[in-house]
Amino acid sequence: MNILKDSFGRSFPYIRLSISDVCNFKCGYCLPNGYQVDKNDSRKFLHLDEIKRLAKCFSELGVNKIRITGGEPTVRKDFFDIIKVLKFESGIQNVSITTNGYKLDKKAEQLVNSGLTGINISIDSLDKEIFKNITGHDRLPEILNGIENLQNIGFENIKINAVLLNGINSSIKDFNTWAKYIETNKVDFRYIELMRTGDNLDYFNKYHVSSKIFKEYLKENKWIYQTFGKDAGPSLNYINPKFKGKFGVIAPYSKDFCKSCNRLRITSRGDLRLCLFGNTGINLRHLLQKDDQLIELKDLIMKQMQFKKESHYLELGNTGSTINLSKTGG
Protein backbone atom coordinates (compact mmCIF):
# COMPACT_ATOMS: atom_id res chain seq x y z
CA MET A 1 0.00 0.00 0.00
CA ASN A 2 1.23 3.50 -0.85
CA ILE A 3 1.34 5.72 2.25
CA LEU A 4 1.08 9.49 2.18
CA LYS A 5 4.47 10.89 3.19
CA ASP A 6 6.23 14.17 2.53
CA SER A 7 9.88 15.00 1.97
CA PHE A 8 10.37 15.70 5.70
CA GLY A 9 9.43 12.16 6.77
CA ARG A 10 5.96 13.02 8.07
CA SER A 11 3.09 10.64 7.35
CA PHE A 12 -0.54 11.67 6.93
CA PRO A 13 -3.20 9.25 8.21
CA TYR A 14 -5.69 12.07 8.83
CA ILE A 15 -7.87 14.16 6.48
CA ARG A 16 -9.92 17.21 7.39
CA LEU A 17 -12.80 17.28 4.93
CA SER A 18 -14.87 20.44 4.64
CA ILE A 19 -18.37 19.79 3.28
CA SER A 20 -19.71 23.35 3.43
CA ASP A 21 -18.48 26.93 3.78
CA VAL A 22 -21.83 27.93 5.27
CA CYS A 23 -22.02 28.65 8.99
CA ASN A 24 -25.00 29.81 11.04
CA PHE A 25 -22.89 31.45 13.77
CA LYS A 26 -21.06 34.79 13.61
CA CYS A 27 -17.90 34.19 15.61
CA GLY A 28 -15.74 37.31 15.85
CA TYR A 29 -12.52 35.50 14.93
CA CYS A 30 -13.97 33.78 11.85
CA LEU A 31 -17.17 35.20 10.33
CA PRO A 32 -18.07 38.33 12.32
CA ASN A 33 -20.54 39.41 9.62
CA GLY A 34 -21.95 35.94 9.08
CA TYR A 35 -21.58 33.74 6.03
CA GLN A 36 -21.17 35.61 2.75
CA VAL A 37 -21.55 33.90 -0.62
CA ASP A 38 -18.25 33.79 -2.51
CA LYS A 39 -19.12 35.48 -5.80
CA ASN A 40 -15.75 34.46 -7.24
CA ASP A 41 -16.39 30.72 -6.84
CA SER A 42 -19.68 29.42 -8.21
CA ARG A 43 -18.77 25.74 -7.80
CA LYS A 44 -21.18 23.67 -5.73
CA PHE A 45 -20.07 21.77 -2.64
CA LEU A 46 -18.89 18.18 -3.03
CA HIS A 47 -21.81 15.79 -3.41
CA LEU A 48 -22.19 12.41 -1.73
CA ASP A 49 -20.80 10.24 -4.53
CA GLU A 50 -17.73 12.46 -4.86
CA ILE A 51 -17.13 12.27 -1.11
CA LYS A 52 -17.42 8.48 -1.20
CA ARG A 53 -14.84 8.16 -4.00
CA LEU A 54 -12.52 10.62 -2.30
CA ALA A 55 -12.66 8.72 1.01
CA LYS A 56 -12.08 5.37 -0.68
CA CYS A 57 -9.02 6.82 -2.38
CA PHE A 58 -7.57 8.14 0.86
CA SER A 59 -8.28 4.88 2.71
CA GLU A 60 -6.14 3.11 0.10
CA LEU A 61 -3.38 5.66 0.79
CA GLY A 62 -3.22 4.78 4.49
CA VAL A 63 -5.72 7.31 5.85
CA ASN A 64 -7.70 5.96 8.80
CA LYS A 65 -9.31 9.15 10.10
CA ILE A 66 -11.50 11.78 8.47
CA ARG A 67 -12.81 14.77 10.36
CA ILE A 68 -15.83 16.44 8.76
CA THR A 69 -15.63 20.22 9.06
CA GLY A 70 -17.05 23.39 7.55
CA GLY A 71 -18.28 26.09 7.89
CA GLU A 72 -20.80 24.26 10.00
CA PRO A 73 -21.12 20.73 8.56
CA THR A 74 -24.48 19.93 10.14
CA VAL A 75 -26.28 22.52 7.98
CA ARG A 76 -26.12 20.11 5.02
CA LYS A 77 -29.31 18.12 4.55
CA ASP A 78 -27.34 14.98 3.69
CA PHE A 79 -24.98 15.37 6.66
CA PHE A 80 -25.90 12.07 8.33
CA ASP A 81 -25.67 10.24 5.00
CA ILE A 82 -22.12 11.57 4.62
CA ILE A 83 -21.14 10.14 8.01
CA LYS A 84 -22.61 6.75 7.09
CA VAL A 85 -20.85 6.65 3.72
CA LEU A 86 -17.49 7.54 5.29
CA LYS A 87 -17.83 5.06 8.15
CA PHE A 88 -19.43 2.08 6.45
CA GLU A 89 -18.66 2.29 2.73
CA SER A 90 -15.22 3.85 2.38
CA GLY A 91 -12.82 1.90 4.58
CA ILE A 92 -12.32 4.79 7.04
CA GLN A 93 -12.12 3.64 10.67
CA ASN A 94 -12.46 6.94 12.51
CA VAL A 95 -15.08 9.48 11.43
CA SER A 96 -15.42 12.60 13.56
CA ILE A 97 -16.84 16.10 13.19
CA THR A 98 -16.08 19.63 14.28
CA THR A 99 -19.29 21.53 15.01
CA ASN A 100 -20.60 24.62 16.74
CA GLY A 101 -23.10 22.36 18.50
CA TYR A 102 -26.20 23.86 16.87
CA LYS A 103 -29.21 21.69 17.86
CA LEU A 104 -26.84 19.14 19.39
CA ASP A 105 -29.41 18.43 22.10
CA LYS A 106 -31.78 17.12 19.42
CA LYS A 107 -29.17 15.44 17.19
CA ALA A 108 -27.08 13.54 19.74
CA GLU A 109 -28.66 10.12 19.33
CA GLN A 110 -28.80 10.36 15.53
CA LEU A 111 -25.11 11.31 15.44
CA VAL A 112 -24.14 8.21 17.39
CA ASN A 113 -26.41 5.93 15.37
CA SER A 114 -24.94 7.21 12.10
CA GLY A 115 -21.53 5.80 13.03
CA LEU A 116 -19.75 8.88 14.38
CA THR A 117 -16.65 8.03 16.43
CA GLY A 118 -15.66 11.47 17.73
CA ILE A 119 -16.94 15.03 18.09
CA ASN A 120 -15.22 18.40 18.61
CA ILE A 121 -17.51 21.17 19.78
CA SER A 122 -16.59 24.84 19.71
CA ILE A 123 -17.47 26.51 23.04
CA ASP A 124 -15.44 29.64 23.63
CA SER A 125 -16.83 30.31 27.09
CA LEU A 126 -19.12 28.80 29.71
CA ASP A 127 -20.37 32.29 30.52
CA LYS A 128 -23.62 32.79 28.58
CA GLU A 129 -23.05 36.48 27.86
CA ILE A 130 -19.45 36.02 26.72
CA PHE A 131 -20.50 33.08 24.57
CA LYS A 132 -23.22 35.19 22.96
CA ASN A 133 -20.86 38.11 22.36
CA ILE A 134 -18.33 35.86 20.59
CA THR A 135 -20.71 33.73 18.52
CA GLY A 136 -23.71 36.01 17.99
CA HIS A 137 -25.98 33.32 19.47
CA ASP A 138 -27.30 32.46 22.93
CA ARG A 139 -27.44 28.70 22.37
CA LEU A 140 -24.97 27.67 25.07
CA PRO A 141 -27.56 25.83 27.24
CA GLU A 142 -28.74 23.60 24.39
CA ILE A 143 -25.13 22.82 23.41
CA LEU A 144 -24.29 21.77 26.96
CA ASN A 145 -27.50 19.72 27.07
CA GLY A 146 -26.38 18.06 23.85
CA ILE A 147 -23.08 17.05 25.44
CA GLU A 148 -24.99 15.63 28.39
CA ASN A 149 -27.22 13.67 26.00
CA LEU A 150 -24.16 12.22 24.26
CA GLN A 151 -22.74 11.14 27.61
CA ASN A 152 -26.04 9.62 28.70
CA ILE A 153 -26.05 7.28 25.69
CA GLY A 154 -22.46 6.22 26.31
CA PHE A 155 -20.60 8.33 23.74
CA GLU A 156 -17.19 9.19 25.19
CA ASN A 157 -14.94 10.72 22.50
CA ILE A 158 -15.95 14.33 23.15
CA LYS A 159 -13.63 17.31 22.79
CA ILE A 160 -14.36 20.97 23.40
CA ASN A 161 -12.33 23.69 21.67
CA ALA A 162 -12.12 27.35 22.66
CA VAL A 163 -10.17 30.06 20.87
CA LEU A 164 -8.07 31.87 23.46
CA LEU A 165 -8.95 35.58 23.32
CA ASN A 166 -7.07 38.15 25.34
CA GLY A 167 -9.29 39.89 27.88
CA ILE A 168 -12.36 37.89 26.90
CA ASN A 169 -11.84 34.28 28.03
CA SER A 170 -8.22 34.30 29.19
CA SER A 171 -8.48 34.98 32.93
CA ILE A 172 -7.80 32.69 35.89
CA LYS A 173 -11.55 32.78 36.51
CA ASP A 174 -12.16 31.40 33.00
CA PHE A 175 -9.56 28.66 33.52
CA ASN A 176 -11.07 27.71 36.88
CA THR A 177 -14.56 27.54 35.37
CA TRP A 178 -13.37 25.04 32.77
CA ALA A 179 -11.48 23.09 35.43
CA LYS A 180 -14.67 22.78 37.46
CA TYR A 181 -16.52 21.57 34.36
CA ILE A 182 -14.03 18.84 33.42
CA GLU A 183 -13.68 17.76 37.04
CA THR A 184 -17.00 15.92 36.66
CA ASN A 185 -17.28 15.64 32.86
CA LYS A 186 -15.18 13.19 30.86
CA VAL A 187 -14.31 15.53 27.99
CA ASP A 188 -11.08 16.92 26.57
CA PHE A 189 -11.01 20.71 26.68
CA ARG A 190 -8.40 22.53 24.56
CA TYR A 191 -7.51 26.16 24.17
CA ILE A 192 -6.43 27.12 20.66
CA GLU A 193 -4.31 30.21 20.06
CA LEU A 194 -6.04 32.76 17.86
CA MET A 195 -4.60 32.53 14.34
CA ARG A 196 -4.24 35.37 11.90
CA THR A 197 -6.08 34.94 8.60
CA GLY A 198 -6.39 37.12 5.53
CA ASP A 199 -9.25 39.23 6.86
CA ASN A 200 -8.80 39.42 10.64
CA LEU A 201 -5.58 41.42 11.20
CA ASP A 202 -7.20 44.06 13.44
CA TYR A 203 -9.02 41.41 15.47
CA PHE A 204 -5.83 39.36 15.74
CA ASN A 205 -3.77 42.32 16.95
CA LYS A 206 -6.39 43.14 19.56
CA TYR A 207 -7.12 39.67 20.94
CA HIS A 208 -4.17 37.38 20.27
CA VAL A 209 -2.41 36.13 23.39
CA SER A 210 0.14 33.38 23.80
CA SER A 211 -1.08 30.09 25.24
CA LYS A 212 1.83 30.31 27.69
CA ILE A 213 -0.56 31.93 30.17
CA PHE A 214 -2.69 28.78 30.20
CA LYS A 215 0.34 26.49 30.33
CA GLU A 216 1.53 28.38 33.41
CA TYR A 217 -1.89 27.87 34.99
CA LEU A 218 -1.66 24.12 34.29
CA LYS A 219 1.82 23.94 35.80
CA GLU A 220 0.80 25.85 38.92
CA ASN A 221 -2.20 23.55 39.41
CA LYS A 222 -0.16 20.36 39.00
CA TRP A 223 -1.51 19.16 35.68
CA ILE A 224 0.72 16.47 34.17
CA TYR A 225 1.85 16.57 30.54
CA GLN A 226 0.71 13.46 28.68
CA THR A 227 2.84 12.09 25.86
CA PHE A 228 1.43 10.34 22.80
CA GLY A 229 2.76 8.60 19.70
CA LYS A 230 4.40 10.41 16.80
CA ASP A 231 1.14 10.54 14.80
CA ALA A 232 -0.92 12.10 17.60
CA GLY A 233 -0.84 15.59 16.10
CA PRO A 234 0.15 18.96 17.57
CA SER A 235 -2.11 19.16 20.63
CA LEU A 236 -0.33 19.23 24.01
CA ASN A 237 -2.42 17.28 26.51
CA TYR A 238 -2.52 17.34 30.31
CA ILE A 239 -4.08 15.04 32.90
CA ASN A 240 -4.84 15.25 36.60
CA PRO A 241 -5.98 12.14 38.53
CA LYS A 242 -8.56 14.22 40.41
CA PHE A 243 -10.39 15.14 37.19
CA LYS A 244 -12.48 13.06 34.79
CA GLY A 245 -11.59 15.27 31.84
CA LYS A 246 -8.34 16.49 30.30
CA PHE A 247 -6.89 19.85 29.35
CA GLY A 248 -5.10 20.57 26.10
CA VAL A 249 -3.30 23.36 24.27
CA ILE A 250 -3.00 23.93 20.53
CA ALA A 251 -0.30 26.54 20.00
CA PRO A 252 0.32 27.13 16.28
CA TYR A 253 2.83 29.91 16.98
CA SER A 254 5.05 27.68 19.10
CA LYS A 255 8.43 26.38 17.93
CA ASP A 256 8.27 23.12 15.95
CA PHE A 257 4.45 23.12 15.88
CA CYS A 258 4.43 21.74 12.34
CA LYS A 259 6.95 19.03 13.13
CA SER A 260 4.11 16.71 14.17
CA CYS A 261 1.76 17.63 11.32
CA ASN A 262 -0.24 14.54 10.34
CA ARG A 263 -3.13 15.93 8.29
CA LEU A 264 -4.13 17.18 4.86
CA ARG A 265 -7.22 19.18 3.98
CA ILE A 266 -9.94 18.99 1.35
CA THR A 267 -12.07 22.07 0.77
CA SER A 268 -15.82 21.89 0.32
CA ARG A 269 -15.35 22.24 -3.45
CA GLY A 270 -12.77 19.50 -3.79
CA ASP A 271 -9.41 21.29 -3.57
CA LEU A 272 -6.54 19.45 -1.91
CA ARG A 273 -4.79 21.80 0.52
CA LEU A 274 -1.47 20.60 1.91
CA CYS A 275 -1.60 23.17 4.71
CA LEU A 276 -4.28 25.31 6.32
CA PHE A 277 -2.15 28.34 5.50
CA GLY A 278 -0.80 27.20 2.15
CA ASN A 279 -0.82 29.48 -0.89
CA THR A 280 -2.17 26.98 -3.35
CA GLY A 281 -4.54 24.08 -3.70
CA ILE A 282 -5.05 21.61 -6.51
CA ASN A 283 -8.56 20.63 -7.53
CA LEU A 284 -9.35 16.90 -7.45
CA ARG A 285 -12.94 17.10 -8.56
CA HIS A 286 -12.40 16.07 -12.18
CA LEU A 287 -11.13 12.72 -10.84
CA LEU A 288 -14.12 12.14 -8.55
CA GLN A 289 -16.73 11.59 -11.25
CA LYS A 290 -16.30 7.85 -11.93
CA ASP A 291 -15.21 4.84 -9.91
CA ASP A 292 -12.60 3.87 -12.50
CA GLN A 293 -10.62 7.10 -11.90
CA LEU A 294 -9.26 5.84 -8.57
CA ILE A 295 -5.73 5.01 -9.74
CA GLU A 296 -5.32 8.36 -11.48
CA LEU A 297 -6.64 10.16 -8.39
CA LYS A 298 -4.21 8.39 -6.07
CA ASP A 299 -1.33 9.16 -8.39
CA LEU A 300 -2.18 12.88 -8.47
CA ILE A 301 -2.39 13.09 -4.67
CA MET A 302 0.88 11.21 -4.19
CA LYS A 303 2.68 13.57 -6.57
CA GLN A 304 1.48 16.60 -4.61
CA MET A 305 3.17 15.44 -1.41
CA GLN A 306 6.55 16.66 -2.62
CA PHE A 307 5.22 20.23 -2.47
CA LYS A 308 4.23 20.19 1.21
CA LYS A 309 6.34 22.70 3.11
CA GLU A 310 8.08 22.15 6.41
CA SER A 311 6.10 24.85 8.23
CA HIS A 312 3.07 27.14 7.90
CA TYR A 313 5.31 30.15 8.74
CA LEU A 314 2.51 31.82 10.69
CA GLU A 315 5.10 33.37 12.95
CA LEU A 316 6.37 35.32 9.92
CA GLY A 317 2.92 36.74 9.21
CA ASN A 318 2.07 34.27 6.46
CA THR A 319 -1.64 33.52 6.07
CA GLY A 320 -1.49 31.93 2.63
CA SER A 321 -4.78 31.91 0.76
CA THR A 322 -6.84 31.41 3.93
CA ILE A 323 -9.22 34.37 3.99
CA ASN A 324 -11.07 33.02 7.03
CA LEU A 325 -11.26 29.71 8.84
CA SER A 326 -14.61 28.70 7.32
CA LYS A 327 -12.94 28.30 3.93
CA THR A 328 -10.68 25.36 4.71
CA GLY A 329 -12.25 23.79 7.74
CA GLY A 330 -10.07 25.48 10.35
pLDDT tens, residue by residue, 174-208? 999 999 999 999 999 999 999 988 778 899 999 99
Residue 302 has phi, psi (to 5 degrees) of -60, -40
The pTM score is 0.93
Inter-residue contact 64 to 92 (CB < 8 Å): yes
The better pLDDT of the pair 319, 82 is held by 82
- Is residue 231 in some structural domain? no
Helix (H) or strand (E) holding 86: helix 79-88
CATH code, 70: 3.20.20.70
Is residue 327 over pLDDT 80?
no
Out of 222-226, 240-244, 250-254, which region has the weakest mean confidence (pLDDT)?
A: 250-254
pLDDT on residue 19: 97
Structural domain includes residue 220? no
Range 266-280 average pLDDT: 87
Name residues whose C-beta falls within 8 Å of residue 167's C-beta, 6 or more positions apart in sequence.
207
The per-residue pLDDT for 205 is 94
Number of domains within the chain: 1
Confidence of residue 293 (pLDDT cuts 50, 70, 90): very high
How sure is the predictor about 315, in pLDDT bands with cuts at 50, 70 and 90?
Answer: low
Answer yes or no: is 151 within a domain: yes
Is pLDDT of 320 > 80?
no
Q: Binning pLDDT at 50, 70 and 90, where does residue 256 land?
A: confident
* C-alpha to C-alpha distance for 214 and 267, rounded to whole angstroms: 32
Residue 69 clears pLDDT 80, i.e. is over it: yes
Q: Is residue 223 part of a domain?
A: no
pLDDT at 322: 60
Query: 165 and 194 in contact (C-beta within 8 Å)?
Result: yes
The mean-pLDDT minimum among 99-103, 117-121, 165-169, 320-324 falls in 320-324
Whether residue 32 lies inside any domain: the answer is yes
User: Which helix (H) or strand (E) element contains residue 119?
Assistant: strand 118-122
Task: Yes or no: say if 140 and 123 are a contact pair by the CB < 8 Å rule.
Answer: yes
User: What does the alpha-carbon distance between residue 48 and residue 127 come to, in Å, rounded to a whole number?
Assistant: 38
Considering the domain boundaries, does residue 215 fall inside one? Answer: no
Cα 41 to chain centroid distance, Å, stands at: 23
Over residues 231-251, the mean pLDDT reads 90
Residue 209 in domain: no
Of 120, 84, 126, 85, nearest to 100 (Cα)?
A: 120
Quickly state the pLDDT bin for 68 (edges 50, 70, 90).
very high
Domain that holds residue 40: 14-160+256-316
Confidence of residue 157 (pLDDT cuts 50, 70, 90): very high
Checking DSSP bridges between strand 246-250 and strand 263-266, what pairing results, if any?
Answer: unpaired
User: Sign of dihedral through CA atoms 222, 228, 232, 234?
Assistant: positive
The verdict on residue 179 lying in a domain is no
